[in-house]
Amino acid sequence: MHHHPAAPPSPPAPEPPASLRRTARLAAVLGACFLVLLVLVALRWQPLVAVDGDISRATHRWAVRDDGVTHLSRVLTDWVWDPVTMRLLCAAVAVWLVWRRAAWWTALWLAVTCAVATGVQQAVKAVVGRPRPVWPDPVDSAHYAAFPSGHALTATVVCGLLLWLLHRCGPGRVLWRTAVAAALVSVVGVGVTRVWLGVHWPSDVLGGWLFGALLVAVAVLVYEWPRNGRVRLPARRRG
């Protein structure tokens, strides 16, 4: 009788990199925070409604009184940080990724993530159905339900995705700090303008930030996990 040697044990599945584990934990925390806020908004929890109302009434008084800041806020929110502008920025980066680096997968991932963020945001708005603030002397207007803020969510998703891609390219210190500063100003600024113009409650903006950050974390996991964190952007084409 011939005895066949036992097959060597299969190697254990590789552990996800520490960065991916951190991202997964971050996604879990962001998801829990957003879920809690979503429930409080849906139940119209009185302390949250009271804080929203106090802040919104104060900022609306300032907006009516200060025409210059209100006009600047409208320009920034309607043109610079508008969701359409943000999506066009994403589209331009996706085209650049294909043209300069032949990074088709990365460009597709970027475009699909932005599209999914838009669709999911509209679905949550429709399900929650939160009314926007109503003023006798409005300084601006907006459509659809209030929660979460689409402007805040879109700015968070776009800036988060682009910062993550830039970080993977190994930017210089000056470029990186400039990009981080621009992203922070955009994400925070667009949230402030939405409350200032009286078209969102503060918790709508907070919900947009939380949900947007959650979508970025999930998108990073989707991008990296199948390749166990070894994905790298292709080298720049020469010529």
227 pLDDT tier (thresholds 50, 70, 90): low
Average pLDDT over residues 159-166: 96
Torsion angle of the four alpha carbons 225, 235, 160, 144, in this order, in degrees rounded to the nearest 10: -90
% pLDDT > 90, the chain: 77
pTM value > 0.85: yes
Q: Give me the numbers of helices (H) and strands (E) for the chain, helices first please.
A: 8, 0
User: Is residue 4 scored above 70 in pLDDT?
Assistant: no
**CA atoms 16, 14, 162, 168: torsion sign:** positive
User: Is residue 153 scored above 90 in pLDDT?
Assistant: yes
- pLDDT for residue 230: 44
3 pLDDT tier (thresholds 50, 70, 90): low
- pLDDT for residue 49: 97
